Structure 1
Amino acid sequence: MDATLTETTGTAFQALAGLRFSKGHGTGNDFVLVADPEGEHTIDAGHVAALCNRHLGIGGDGLIRAVPSRFLPEGREILAANPDAEWFMDYRNGDGSLSEMCGNGVRVFVHFLRAEGLIDLPVGGALAIGTRGGLKTVVRTADGYAVDMGPWEFIFPGEATAKAMDSLVTAEGLEVPRPALSVSMGNPHTVVALAELGELEATRLYTAPAVEPVPANGTNVEFVVPSEPLVLDGIGSVTMRVHERGVGETQSCGTGACAAAVAIRHWAGAGAPDAWRVNVPGGVVGVKFFAGPGGHEHVELSGPAVIVASGTLS
């Protein structure tokens, strides 16, 4: 084991000794969660990497700090236009890098606020929250949460419109580079369609796939197999695996599920449904398309959220 890594992790835990935390997940996409209602905790990239380390720390795909929006510049900007967005989801990937958004994380974040007694949200109630990907509205459902993820868009719109593909992806386990489509859900995704589940299982995601051209801030890469039949009872269905920036392969990715549905729906053409079921290693999430403000099509992500443990750092 790397002695430097062990020492760094130990130093981080000493700096954060006494900090209360919870561990939660949304369809296996797991997070360390910290409540900071007074905006007094400084948790830097090194701290996050130590806490999210699966052998020397608590373990997680990322860390979410629940902090009032007024304590962050990004939060104050959102508050200026949306005064109801009292809480901000301060999210970092497992390596400590900042991330714009996390669809599974948003659900777990709101569930955590409820568990900590920081909000009261009955079934059917809606909560506006701030994220680095903009304002998000979360509705509590009977069996989880549904999130208006906002509008989607193609990252390379000219190529996507003209060819339905805009990049090539190379990954271990796939013999040749595969064509792909890059979609923004507030964070970047590149979606590859595979023909069968055997190909999906053979794809090795221990290392990051190579994407050419790669979006400006890097990209998450989804490998997706359409179901056969693709549509059943008006609902489309796909199976997905994902490699996330700064994390590696995860059990689920909410924004990735949305991007996968965008791409497969685009490729399916006219008559493709607006409701989708996305199967991921950690479970199932729902994706729906609907008309949003200003004529922009929005995407709703729905699924469960679970808190599995709480404790105090020693």
Structure 2
Amino acid sequence: MKIKFYKYQGAGNDFVLIDHRESALKNIDTKLVAKLCDRRFGIGADGLMFLLSHPDYDFEMVYYNADGNLGSMCGNGGRCIVAFAKHLGVIDSETNFLAVDGAHYAKISAEGNWVELQMIDVDDIQQDGEAFVLNTGSPHYVKEVSSLEQMDVYTEGYNIRNNQTYQRDGINVNFIEQKPNHLFVRTFERGVEDETYACGTGVTAVAMAMAKKQNQVGKIETPIKVLGGDLQINFNYDGQKFTDVFLCGPAERVFVGEIDQL
């Protein structure tokens, strides 16, 4: 039995997407998902998503990490599944859909390759030394560094993700360098257990942490560069709470294919 899949990427964060409203794919387990995401023995991706029907929303997003486990919210995955839903004819230019962290609103360009995804409000940012810790749908550790281009992000991120404080639940680790007109960000992602080319919830956390650190308030637009391209975070911040949070960036279909059910 062959299963049709779609491959999407958002700023280099890549995903396998399957329309599961009437899919013949059965026996979805950790081993199957991990194999589909494997870059040598499967399709290859940072994660896998199913688009499901939902009685109260346009659709439901179910996200799995590349290790095969159900994941927390994935921002770039959310943008990609919105583009996928438009391609399928499920939505047009706007949508309200359900994800693991609740309902999300999004809007998509007429061409279908630029998505602005509303993220959850955030009012709790903790500090761990000079780093910030917050949850933007997924938990994030945010640290400002210098010479980020040359940094060994895998080793540094792995050590923080697996230290005594964070090893039980895991955490995504983001390193930032302030540039003249943008923030440069690199991320080690739990669930992938490696550096990825982008992380949507991660750059959202980064923009919030820097706004708090620099005592910025009001309507803030933060351009961010990641290894896979450019993203932008927009939000309102009153000094206590981040609201009207949008993760904006590209979402592109790479290819369509079929794979035998493994």
Residues 301 and 242 of structure 1: CA distance in aligned 2, closer, same or farther (over 3 Å): same
Assess if the C-alpha contact under 8 Å between 1:153 and 1:184 holds in 2.
Answer: no
Which secondary structure state, in structure 2, belongs to the residue aligned with residue 182 of structure 1?
Answer: strand
SS in 2 for 1:274: strand
TM-score (structure 1 length as normaliser):
0.74
Sort the Cα spacing of 1:282 and 1:296 in 2 relative to 1 into closer, same or farther, 3 A.
closer
Aligned length: 251
Aligned counterparts of 1:28 and 1:208: Cα–Cα separation in 2: 20
CA apart distance, 1:215: 8.1
The 1:27–1:270 alpha-carbon spacing in structure 2 relative to 1, beyond 3 Å, is closer
Residue 200 of structure 1, CA deviation: 4.4
Q: Which amino acid aligns with 1:189?
A: H
Bigger relative contact order, structure 1 or 2, given CA contacts below 8 A and separation 6+? 2
TM-score after normalising by structure 2:
0.88
Residue 201 (structure 1) aligned with residue 150 (structure 2): yes
Which residue pairs with 1:190 in the alignment? 141
CA offsets per residue over residues 245-288 of structure 1, 9 Å max, x none?
Answer: 11011100011010010111111114586110010000011100
SS in 2 for 1:152: coil
Partner of 2:64: 92
Gaps of 5+ in 1: 1-16, 71-82, 168-178
Q: Structure 2 counterpart of 1:238, which letter?
A: L
Structure whose alpha-carbon radius of gyration is higher: 1
Instruction: Specify whether residues 271 and 115 from structure 1 end up closer, same or farther in structure 2 by C-alpha distance, changes over 3 A only.
Output: closer
Mapped pair 1:55 → 2:40: yes
Give the aligned partner of residue 170 of structure 2: 218
What aligned pairs does 1:37-56 form with structure 2 within 5 A after superposition? 37-38=21-22, 41-42=25-26, 43-56=28-41
RMSD across aligned C-alpha pairs, in angstroms? 2.3
Per-residue deviation, 1:114? 2.0
Which of the residues 165, 182, 190 maps onto 1:245?
190
Alignment correspondent of 1:139: 107
Kindly, what percent of the aligned residue pairs are identical? 30
Query: Normalized per residue, which structure has more helix?
Result: 1
- Structure 2 distance, partners of 1:62, 1:129, is 19
Q: Aligned partners of 1:291 and 1:38: how far apart in 2?
A: 42
1:180 matched to which residue of 2? Answer: 131
Q: Distance in 2 between matches of 1:226 and 1:208?
A: 22
Residue 87 (structure 1) shift: 0.7
In structure 1, distance between residues paired with 2:148 and 2:17: 35
Q: Deviations over 1:16-54 (max 9, x none)?
A: x41110111000000011111136533221111001101
